[in-house]
Amino acid sequence: MIFGGIISRLFDIENNMRPSFESVADTWLSMVAEKNNRSWRQQRRQLEMHVLPYWGKRPISKIHRSDVHELLDNLDGSVLPNRILALLKTIFQYACSRDWIVASPVAGVSKPRREIPRCRVLEMEEIGRVFSAAMIVGYPFGCFVQGLILTGQRRSEVAAMTWNEVNLAIKVWRQSSENKGRRAHIVPLSPMMLQLLVDVPRRGNFVFSNDGTTHVSAYSKGKRKIESILPGVGGAIQDWRFHDLRRSVATHMVRLGVSETVVKRMLNHSPGNVLTQTYLLHSYQPELQKAYDKWEFELARVVRVRAD
């Protein structure tokens, strides 16, 4: 039925000289985003909230650069307009590749906002408080937050972790190349992370799931739940986000003596040059295991002090 629906949409577009933006975006989501991008649900939500109410039924060929600027100018925040622009560039480029439009109206449009990189690093005592609050929240969202802290992986990757990717016997989590880094990635499971996975219930293929069919989401709501508990486990924490946890794990690993090369491998960042990408293919698994051992020992110290 899904395949038939895609074919039907393609037929409608190919036989319509004026396909709407909504039909093109829907086709891109089905044929490209869902297959290659774990954050496709977020992209669909962004379209539904910020683009489709204005452009949904409009023929995509009738959207001009002035319309793009008007749409972006009416978006709030320093980050959202840039994210919407990036999404629009991808969709219009897809439309060009299918010959549904001759040229993209977003070509040459610069980012409307200047983004200032965040540099917030949580102190170990703060990380201990978040971890303790997550333990109280429990499954699934609290366990998901514990996973963020224990692994240092991206929010989207931990949220979408599946049992197919986890091998408890050899203590690894194998991420496919569908992650944001577009590179397969093997994450050693530390004893605390391994125990977390052993203890959580299995509700379908997603490790952290409310209903057994979709992974955890509603991150803002979940963060508010964590924050409501923080005063009872040491006090509120100012100005923190989930992505700050990943930056904090990496920073504290370096403080603990882990080399920056190993930390980059832990983060699954691009090696950055042809030599490293093509020839230096050492997996760094022994070094990563030692790094996670150091990180877990430090985390257990602050969580244990908090419990005492």
Report the CATH number at residue 290: 1.10.443.10
The total number of structural domains that make up the chain: 2
Which residue segment(s) compose the domain that 292 sits in? 124-307
Integer Cα distance of 73 and 65 in angstroms:
12
49 assigned to some structural domain: yes
pLDDT for 39-88, tens place per residue?
898 899 999 999 999 999 999 999 999 999 999 998 887 788 999 999 99
Same domain, residue pair 145 and 217: yes
Same domain, residue pair 133 and 257: yes
> How many CA atoms are closer than 13 Å to the CA of 30, on its beta-carbon side?
16
User: 3-state DSSP call for residue 120?
Assistant: coil
Length of the chain as a residue count: 308
* Cβ pair 166, 173 in contact under 8 A: yes
* Residues forming a β-bridge with 175: 185
Same domain, residue pair 214 and 263: yes
> Whole-prediction pTM value?
0.71
173 assigned to some structural domain: yes
pLDDT for 232-269, tens place per residue?
999 999 999 999 999 999 999 999 999 999 999 999 98
| Single-letter residue type at 263 | V
24-27: long-range contacts at Cβ-Cβ below 8 A with a sequence spacing of 24 or more?
Answer: 24/60, 24/91, 24/94, 24/95, 24/100, 25/51, 25/52, 25/91
166 assigned to some structural domain: yes
pLDDT for 126-135, tens place per residue?
999 999 999 9
* Residues forming a β-bridge with 6: none
Q: How confident is the model at residue 5 (pLDDT cuts 50, 70, 90)?
A: low
Helix (H) or strand (E) holding 65: helix 65-73
Integer Cα distance of 183 and 185 in angstroms:
6
Report the CATH number at residue 45: 1.10.150.130
